[in-house]
Structure 1
Amino acid sequence: MKVYISSDIEGTAGITNWNEAEKAHADYKEFRALMTGEVMAAIEGAIEAGATEIVLKDAHDSGRNILTEDLPDCVRIVRGWSGHPLSMVQEIDESFDAVLFTGYHSRAGAESNPLAHTMNLNIGELRLNGVPASEFHLHATAAGYYNVPAVFLSGDEGICADAERLNPGMETVATLEGIGRSTVSIAPKLARRKIREGVKRALSGNRAAYLLKPAAETVMEVFFTNPVSAYKASFYPGAKHLGNRTVQFAHKDFFEIMRAQKFILGA
């Protein structure tokens, strides 16, 4: 079995403040290790379920967060950012049996994590066919474009609830709840145990039931926080400036949505 893992940090058990997610800050070292611990738990669960090949994407910020020394031989890790449109699932293709998401967080506009965002802090909200979308929504659908089912997610309670609404029945592990600028978190050791067990269940079950295929056409709407960003982003081929800091892009090929978001969201 070949498994893809995409890992972020803002949904790691215990995390609360941006200082803990930023490489230059002293607090980062602790949460880099906690992020790595949750990734290792997911890898252990995958191997116990029969995975023989795992591709791991370090998908937070610099893409250089996960401590790599103890990764098993069956793991290849994608570090840094190539600029490829698949972004947080770079290198995924039809050869994978499932994709897992660890450390994921609530979408931009949600109040369930003080670190909530979608791709960057200049995005007030991203919608796919009218549905407010998270990084999980975007990248799980990208995986579905290649017929790879999204079977597991760990992160804050808000992203777990969103994932379950989008993909009913998939395995989730809620690590924390955001309350204003604070969080209430489970213990990291408990989070790791739940992740290992949840991944094992997810990969041992009916994986095909959790395939998120893109719609026949996807309409992406991007609501910017900066009043000047939409104008610039509207020059992407096919994009429309709707006013009120909003750009729209529609396409029948979801890869083109991923290509567009790479340029529009970075505006």
Structure 2
Amino acid sequence: MKVFISADIEGCAAITTWDEVHKGRAGHQEFREQMTAEVVAACEGARAAGATDILIKDAHESGCNLIVSRLPEYARIIRAWSGHPYVMMFGLDASFDAALFIGYHDAAGSDTNPLAHTMNDRIARLSINGELASEFTVNAYTASLNGVPPVFLSGDRGICGAAEQLVPGMKTIAVSEGFGRSTMSLAPAKALRLIREGVEEALAGDLSRCSLGLPDRFEVVLEFNNASDAYRSSFYPGVEHPEARTLRFVSNDYFEVLRTIRFITL
């Protein structure tokens, strides 16, 4: 079994402030250790379920957060950013049997994580076909584009609920919940155990239950916090600029959606 892991940090256990997720700041070291431990727990669960090849994409900020010396020998890792439109899913292809999402967080415009955002802090809201979309939404459809089922996600309670709604068969583990600028979290050790057990359970069943169909048509609307950011990105081919802070584009080709999102959110 071949498994792909996309790892973020804002949805890891106990993380609450931006100081804890930005490289070079005082809180980052402690929580890059938690991010690493949660990824290792996912690897252990996947291994127990029969995975023989695990590819990890370090998918937060610099792409160089995980402590690589702690990763198991049967895993591989992609660090930093290639520039490919798959972004947080770079390295995924049709040869994988399942995709896992670790440390994920709710979308910009939601209130279940004090660090909720989508792509970057310049975007106020992203919707796909009229529905609020998170980074998980974008990345789950990327998995679907390659015929790979998204089977497991850990993160805040809000993104877990959204993931279950998009992919009803997938397993989720909520390790924290946001209340304004605060969070209520599981103890990190318990989060690790539940992630390990949850991944093993998710991969042991019929993976086809998590198959996600791609819509025939994608209408994507991005609302920026600042009108100047929307104006600058409005010149990308096929993009409409209906309002001061808003961009819209439509495509039947999801790779084109990913390419457009990649370039207009720079």
The CA deviation at 1:213 is 2.5
Rounded Cα–Cα distance in structure 2 between residues aligned with 1:242 and 1:104: 31
Q: Indicate if the aligned counterparts of 1:222 and 1:265 stay in contact, CA closer than 8 A.
A: no
Q: Match of 2:200, SS?
A: helix
Instruction: Render the CA deviation track for 1:56-101: whole Å, top value 9, x for unaligned.
Output: 0000000000011122222110000011000000010100000000
Q: Match of 1:219, SS?
A: strand
Percent sequence identity over matched residues?
52
Q: Indicate if the aligned counterparts of 2:2 and 2:98 stay in contact, CA closer than 8 A.
A: yes
The CA deviation at 1:208 is 1.1
Please tell me whether residue 32 in structure 1 is matched to residue 32 in structure 2: yes
Residue equivalent to 1:174: 174
Q: CA RMSD in A?
A: 0.7
The CA deviation at 1:40 is 0.3
Instruction: Render the CA deviation track for 1:123-170: whole Å, top value 9, x for unaligned.
Output: 000011111000001001011000000000000000001101111131
Residue equivalent to 1:129: 129
The CA deviation at 1:263 is 0.7
Describe how 1:30-179 pairs up with structure 2 within 5 A.
Answer: 30-179=30-179
Rounded Cα–Cα distance in structure 2 between residues aligned with 1:25 and 1:71: 23
Q: Indicate if the aligned counterparts of 2:231 and 2:244 stay in contact, CA closer than 8 A.
A: no
Q: Match of 1:137, SS?
A: helix
Q: Indicate if the aligned counterparts of 1:126 and 1:132 stay in contact, CA closer than 8 A.
A: yes
Q: Match of 1:142, SS?
A: helix
Question: How many positions carry a matched residue from both structures?
Answer: 266
Gaps of 5+ in 2: none
Residue equivalent to 2:257: 257
Q: Match of 2:178, SS?
A: strand
Q: Match of 1:260, SS?
A: helix
